[in-house]
């Protein structure tokens, strides 16, 4: 147990993997019952099942993945002392308490549910802030702004669930998801070209290395951060659509300079490129959706499954291998999991574009692929996460 809580990535990445399987298995079961003509009258949680599903994937799954990443990466960025066992145990307990409170929200006062569920991110952000001030850089301090945006999205959801406002759930979920994808724009935009460049250099490649252009990076990041704010505060569908397309195109142009083809025989690298490609595609689809051309639900699932699911799976698996002192080579089963997540995103998006008959097949297939992918992740990395680092 001491090993599990010794590093932030261990307990949180394990929690993310287990919750990814558990939550989608429950959602998949509910969908299957209704798709076959059955009816589930009541659930332990208060919100509608599709809202529970959306909330828990954004603030539950993504919250765990980000918790593990930041508690591990920020000390490396700043040279600050890593969080102690007691803090990791406490903050992971807050994350779990939030999941249990929302699950049993049908039997708990909604204000108590809100207090419990909203406690995790401020505690995490406060810890990160104390580490970032050791070496304050604007490009890192922006993560505190993004975490605040994610928390604000969750707050909007709970404000409606407690009856204090009439319209908080949908904008809150969108704010949360798009703030999470903005985190991926920043982190993915750093690690994808950097890890690719390092691998090419180690292989003796000296020319045509991945390139990043500061004006393009600035546009990509600024538009990704502005998009969720525009959606909440200036809900003009045409403006949101245009900005989302700008955001998607800027991500695609960044990716075009990162030598993706060189990585095709290296899953630990192409998984990052694939996740970033899904990010660009999701933003472009969202822009088209707000311009009235395709389904908004399809676009949101490209972002949620393909970008958030795909990129977090890629980053978590690489981080676990690296911090456990193991070679940075993804096992074949994990490489399969990378592909399954992208396929899950495509199936789910297509289900919202085609007719009802295909919707049920595509959605259930998407859920099954997601479950298989994260079951592989847990089965491969669980022994590593509970074992001390190899010296």
What SS3 string covers 199-260?
HHHHCCCCCCCCCCCHHHHHHHHHHHHHHHHHHHHCCCHHHHHHHHHHHHHHHHHHHHCCCH
What distance in Å separates the CA atoms of residue 22 and residue 111, rounded to the nearest whole number?
26
- Hey, what are 233's tokens? 């505060």
- Hey, what are 16's tokens? 């993310």
Instruction: Give which of 312, 379, 320 is closest to 341, Cα–Cα.
Output: 312
The residues, any chain, with a CB within 8 Å of residue 248's CB and separated by 6 or more, are 280, 281, 282, 283, 284, 285, 286, 287
CATH superfamily of 8-385: Cytochrome c oxidase-like, subunit I domain (1.20.210.10)
What distance in Å separates the CA atoms of residue 4 and residue 20, rounded to the nearest whole number?
19
C-alpha distances in angstroms, 37 versus 30, 33, 40, 43, 361? 11, 7, 10, 18, 14
**Domain-by-domain residue ranges, the chain?**
8-385
CA atoms within 13 A on the CB side of 212: 18
Instruction: Give which of 376, 382, 282 is closest to 335, Cα–Cα.
Output: 376
The residues, any chain, with a CB within 8 Å of residue 153's CB and separated by 6 or more, are 58, 59, 171, 172, 173, 174, 175, 176, 177, 179, 228
Q: Phi/psi at 79 (nearest 5 deg)?
A: 80, 5
* Helix/strand/coil for 107: coil
Q: Phi/psi at 236 (nearest 5 deg)?
A: -90, 115
The residues, any chain, with a CB within 8 Å of residue 310's CB and separated by 6 or more, are 271, 274, 275, 278, 338, 341, 342, 345
Q: What is the pLDDT along the chain (391 residues), one digit of tens a residue?
A: 678 999 999 999 999 999 999 999 999 999 999 888 888 888 999 999 999 999 999 999 999 999 999 999 999 999 889 899 999 999 999 999 999 999 999 999 999 999 999 999 999 999 999 999 888 888 899 999 999 999 999 999 999 999 999 999 999 999 999 999 999 999 999 999 999 999 999 999 988 999 999 999 999 999 999 999 998 888 889 999 999 999 999 999 999 999 999 999 999 999 999 999 999 999 999 999 999 999 999 999 999 999 999 999 999 999 999 999 999 999 999 999 999 999 999 999 999 988 777 899 999 999 999 999 999 999 999 999 999 876 5
What distance in Å separates the CA atoms of residue 193 and residue 210, rounded to the nearest whole number?
6
């Amino acid at each position: 147990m001491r090993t599990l809580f010794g590093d932030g990535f261990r307990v949180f990445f394990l929690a993310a993997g287990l919750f990814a399987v558990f939550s989608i298995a429950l959602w998949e079961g509910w969908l299957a019952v209704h798709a076959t003509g059955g009816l589930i009258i009541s659930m332990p949680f208060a919100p509608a099942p599709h809202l529970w599903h959306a909330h828990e994937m954004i603030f539950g799954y993504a919250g765990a993945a980000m918790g593990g990443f930041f508690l591990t990466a920020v000390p490396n960025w700043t040279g600050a002392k890593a969080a102690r066992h007691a803090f990791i145990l406490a903050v992971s307990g807050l994350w779990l308490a939030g999941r249990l409170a929302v699950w049993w929200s049908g039997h708990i006062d909604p204000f108590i549910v809100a207090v419990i569920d909203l406690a995790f991110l401020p505690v995490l952000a406060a810890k990160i802030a104390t580490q970032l001030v050791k070496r304050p850089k604007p490009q890192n301090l922006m993560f505190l702004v993004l975490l605040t945006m994610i928390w604000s999205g969750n707050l909007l959801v709970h404000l409606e669930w407690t009856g204090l406002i009439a319209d908080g759930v949908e904008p809150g979920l969108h704010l949360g998801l798009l703030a999470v994808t903005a985190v991926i724009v920043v982190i993915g935009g750093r690690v994808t070209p950097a890890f690719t460049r390092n691998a090419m250099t180690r292989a003796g490649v000296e020319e045509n290395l991945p390139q990043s252009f500061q004006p393009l990076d600035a546009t990509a990041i600024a538009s990704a951060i502005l998009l969720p704010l525009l959606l909440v505060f200036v809900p003009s569908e045409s403006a949101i659509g245009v900005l989302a397309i700008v955001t998607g195109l800027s991500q695609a142009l960044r990716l075009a300079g990162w030598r993706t083809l060189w990585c095709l025989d290296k899953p630990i690298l192409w998984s990052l490129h694939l996740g970033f490609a899904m990010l660009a595609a999701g933003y472009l689809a969202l822009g088209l959706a707000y311009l009235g051309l395709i389904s908004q639900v399809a676009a949101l699932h490209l972002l949620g499954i393909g970008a958030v699911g795909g990129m977090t799976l890629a980053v978590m698996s690489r981080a676990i291998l690296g911090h456990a002192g193991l070679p940075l080579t993804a096992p074949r089963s994990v490489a399969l999991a990378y592909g399954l997540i992208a396929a899950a995103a495509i199936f789910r998006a297509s289900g919202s574009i085609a007719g009802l008959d295909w919707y049920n097949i595509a959605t259930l297939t998407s859920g099954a692929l997601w479950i298989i992918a994260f079951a592989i992740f847990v089965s491969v990395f669980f022994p590593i996460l509970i074992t001390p680092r190899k010296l």
